[in-house]
């Protein structure tokens, strides 16, 4: 077991020369994420430069414990003028109240946006409004069911179809001919719409490469004859139907279930403002009321909107930003690992909050080794110190590297694992 060194947060400055400890008293003008306050002195505890220690794990013995740690971290972050994006599940009203209270006290009420997928208001999200064709294709493909060996052929053809269609729709969006959203993609997967898109007479200005992709897919369908136009034989209709069916769940279900959030609401949340103005967006997922597949789908849409904004503006932002995934075992998407392992490039600190008894299982099963390597700061409540050592050992086993530092919050003092 690693040795434990007890230090008071008031004396942390004497240890700042130790490079593997990125903790101290907050200073203005620093790209820092504040993760709470010392209980005795009231001095803020901070990650001094999250570009070098981007990922934080919060693991508590209960929802109340993890929410208390999150409340301290987010309240300090918002008070300091930071922005970010949080995905949380239902039952976290106390956390929302604390965040809203911190925003009011800091005069930042207008900088907080809450989108509730279970009780929609006039706010929504739309990653298809700005994303490029490659990113949007990857998003939708990530939501497809595992085809298995028997379905590999249909899966490959379905991916080719969605790639071609999204390229065409993104071109139409960028030329101000449509407002692209999830429902628009779903509606354009029927065969007659694809044939309509591929017709040069309908869209004479469409780039040749995009039209060729559509025609290539159509030519791959057994029985397809271009001269028949939209009146194709039953074999062609059936073959295309199998491909279209691959997307029935991942497109139709979210559109039908969360239409008020995903399909052209009155106002879309502008994720760019997280990095331009230090805005904070909270996305609430009704995990208890929907299937895990549906939770993963709606979470993936929101995550993609944030990811695109981070890529566009993260490097140049003067506002410290963070990404919070609260109890992500309910909605985790394996495609997120690629972004999380490079989040520091976009000046984003990632906080993963999970119950202690689920932490090691979740980390081992879902989070990739390259991401685990970057989780080098851990926060626990005072009731679960034993999980600190267990989780640290698990992280080290997954990543092949020992985590840099772990903080365990306890009454009056903080323990740092050397």
Domain spans, the chain: 4-126+269-417, 133-253
Q: How far apart are CA 124 and CA 115, in angstroms?
A: 7
Residue 340's pLDDT is what?
74
Q: How far apart are CA 136 and CA 139, in angstroms?
A: 5
Q: Which residues contact 367 (CB under 8 A, 6 or more apart)?
A: 337, 340, 352, 375, 398
**CA 325 and chain centroid, separation:** 7
Q: How far apart are CA 334 and CA 25, in angstroms?
A: 35
Per-residue tokens: 121: 């208001």
Classified as helix, coil or strand, 144 is coil
Per CATH, domain 4-126+269-417 is 3.40.50: yes
Kindly report the backbone phi and psi dihedral angles of residue 259, in degrees, each rounded to the nearest multiple of 5, phi listed first.
Answer: -60, -35
Residue 29's pLDDT is what?
44
Per-residue tokens: 62: 């209960």
Q: How far apart are CA 395 and CA 59, in angstroms?
A: 13
Kindly report the backbone phi and psi dihedral angles of residue 55, in degrees, each rounded to the nearest multiple of 5, phi listed first.
Answer: -110, 135
Residue 102's pLDDT is what?
85
* Short-list 93, 88, 98, 108, CA closest to 351: 88
Listing DSSP states for 332-383 in one string gives --GGGHHHHTTGGGGTEEEEEEEEHHHHHHHHHHHS-HHHHHHEEEEEE-TT
Q: CA of 292: how far to CAs of 87, 328, 357, in Å?
A: 15, 11, 19
Return averaged pLDDT per consecutive 10 residues of the chain, 418 residues in all. Answer: 28 31 40 56 59 59 71 78 85 80 87 84 83 90 71 78 95 93 90 93 94 92 86 88 83 78 74 90 86 86 90 82 83 76 75 66 58 56 55 59 48 40
Residue 333's pLDDT is what?
79
Residue 7's pLDDT is what?
27
Residue 316's pLDDT is what?
82
In a 13 Å sphere around the CA of 317, the CA atoms on its Cβ side amount to 31
90 near 289, Cβ under 8 Å?
yes
Q: Which residues contact 205 (CB under 8 A, 6 or more apart)?
A: 175
259 near 306, Cβ under 8 Å?
no
* Short-list 164, 143, 147, CA closest to 156: 147
**In the chain, helix, strand, coil percent, each to 5?**
50, 15, 35
48 near 405, Cβ under 8 Å?
no
């Amino acid at each position: 077991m690693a040795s434990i060194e007890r230090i008071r947060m008031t004396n942390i400055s004497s240890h700042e020369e130790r490079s593997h400890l990125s903790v101290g008293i907050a200073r203005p003008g620093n790209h820092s994420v504040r993760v709470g306050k010392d209980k005795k002195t009231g001095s803020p505890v901070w990650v001094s430069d999250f570009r070098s220690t981007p990922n934080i794990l919060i693991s508590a013995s209960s929802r109340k414990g993890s929410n208390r740690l999150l409340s301290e971290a987010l309240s300090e972050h918002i008070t300091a003028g930071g922005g970010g994006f949080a995905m949380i599940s239902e039952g976290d009203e106390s956390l929302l109240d604390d965040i809203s209270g911190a925003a009011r006290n800091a005069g930042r009420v207008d900088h907080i946006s809450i989108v509730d997928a279970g009780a929609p208001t006039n706010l929504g999200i739309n990653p298809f409004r700005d994303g490029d064709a490659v990113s949007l294709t990857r998003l939708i493909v990530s939501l497809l069911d595992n085809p298995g060996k028997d379905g590999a052929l249909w899966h490959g053809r379905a991916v080719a179809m969605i790639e071609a269609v999204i390229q065409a729709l993104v071109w139409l969006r960028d030329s101000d001919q449509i407002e692209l959203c999830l429902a628009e993609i779903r509606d354009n997967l029927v065969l007659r719409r694809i044939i309509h898109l591929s017709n040069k007479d309908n869209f004479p200005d469409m780039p040749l490469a995009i039209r060729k992709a559509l025609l290539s897919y159509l030519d791959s369908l057994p029985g397809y004859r271009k001269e028949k136009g939209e009146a194709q034989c039953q074999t062609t209709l059936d073959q295309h139907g199998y491909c279209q069916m691959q997307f029935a769940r991942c497109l139709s279900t979210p559109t039908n279930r969360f239409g008020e959030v995903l399909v052209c609401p009155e106002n879309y949340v502008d994720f760019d403002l997280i990095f331009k103005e230090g805005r904070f967006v909270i996305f609430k997922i009704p995990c208890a009321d929907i299937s895990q597949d549906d939770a993963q789908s709606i979470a993936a849409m929101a995550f993609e909107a944030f990811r695109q904004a981070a890529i566009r503006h993260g490097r140049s932002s003067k506002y410290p930003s963070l990404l919070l995934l609260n109890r992500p075992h309910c909605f985790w998407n394996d495609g997120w690992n690629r972004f999380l392992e490079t989040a520091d490039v976009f000046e984003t600190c990632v906080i993963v909050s999970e119950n202690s008894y689920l932490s090691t299982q979740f980390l081992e099963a879902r989070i990739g080794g390259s991401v685990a390597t970057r989780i080098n700061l851990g926060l626990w409540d005072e009731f679960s110190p034993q999980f600190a050592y267990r989780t640290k050992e698990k992280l080290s086993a997954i990543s092949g590297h020992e985590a840099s530092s772990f903080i365990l919050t306890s009454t009056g003092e903080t323990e740092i694992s050397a």
